[in-house]
Structure 1
Amino acid sequence: MKDIETRGDIELFMRSFYEAMLNDPAISYVFTDVAKIDLEAHLPHLTDFWEQTLLRKGTYRKNVLQIHLDLNDKERLTNEHFEVWLNHFTTTVDKLFQGKNTERIKTIALSVASVMKIKMYPQKH
């Protein structure tokens, strides 16, 4: 298997990843009923984000945290949602790719999920 090297690789991964999530009742409703995403319209934005994050290419300029904070206002994103998301992310990327960038994207995904949870649910002191 090859590593993630191009925008096309990321697009293939994102398409497979979202197909898996949209077929999982534990999380699919967040995309279909709450966010009401149109995958074909959303896919270029997802690809832009990961291309910028992993390959340091592209022009993604949206605030990914704010998008998810707004979503969380509509439907509370739980630890289970994050676990399901990370599980599909890791499983899908491992089915398609292997290498340095493949390992790096999994680490980045864990970091992104962790930061989002911290920002959504700050600890009270």
Structure 2
Amino acid sequence: MTKRLLDSPEAIRLLVDSFYEKIQVDPLLGPIFTDVAQVDWSHHLPKMYAFWENIILGNNAYHGHPFQPHLLVNQKHTLGVEHFERWLQLFTKTLDERFEGQTADDVRLRATQIAVVWNRKLEYLNGV
């Protein structure tokens, strides 16, 4: 598979779609998305395209509060470090398989920061 730069809305859609294909079949995270959050993929994926376009391209495509849905899921099923580690593993694997260049490296770092910060916030809220 030829790797590409992460430099356009089309590349970001490829990243998001490839990543969430992995999520949906993952034994740890799949049930969280399917059974607990009951994600409507036709609604969720465009939000994720906008979220990552905002981070990668700086185009202000995303307007929202990305942590809020995680709080709601956490009320139904406690999210722990194992969930964020797996999320990061799958995200990094997707980046490594499909993308190259400085932007991919920057996005890998940003995803790590998101996973660490959101896990810490939830640990605090869960009293861990």
User: Given the two structures, how large is their TM-score scaled by the length of structure 2?
Assistant: 0.91
Taking only the aligned residue pairs, the percentage that are identical comes to 35
Gaps of 5+ in 2: none
Structure 1 residue ranges, 4+ long, deviating more than 3 angstroms after superposition = none
- Aligned-pair Cα RMSD in Å: 1.4
Q: Which amino acid aligns with 1:107?
A: L
Residue 117 (structure 1) aligned to one of 116, 119, 123: 119
2:16 aligned residue = 14
1:47 aligned residue = 49
1:106 aligned residue = 108
Measure the CA separation in 1 of the matches of 2:36 and 2:7: 33
Could you give the per-residue CA deviations for residues 89-115 of structure 1, whole angstroms, max 9, x where no partner exists? 000111111001101111000101111
Could you give the per-residue CA deviations for residues 22-55 of structure 1, whole angstroms, max 9, x where no partner exists? 1111110000001111222211100100110121
Report how many aligned residue pairs link the two structures. 124
Q: Secondary structure at the match of 2:44?
A: helix
**Residue range with higher mean Cα deviation, 10-19 or 63-72:** 63-72
Measure the CA separation in 2 of the matches of 1:74 and 1:8: 34
2:60 aligned residue = 58
Gaps of 5+ in 1: none
2:37 aligned residue = 35
Residues 80 and 123 of structure 2 are in contact (CA less than 8 Å); yes or no, is this contact kept in structure 1? no
Measure the CA separation in 1 of the matches of 2:100 and 2:26: 24
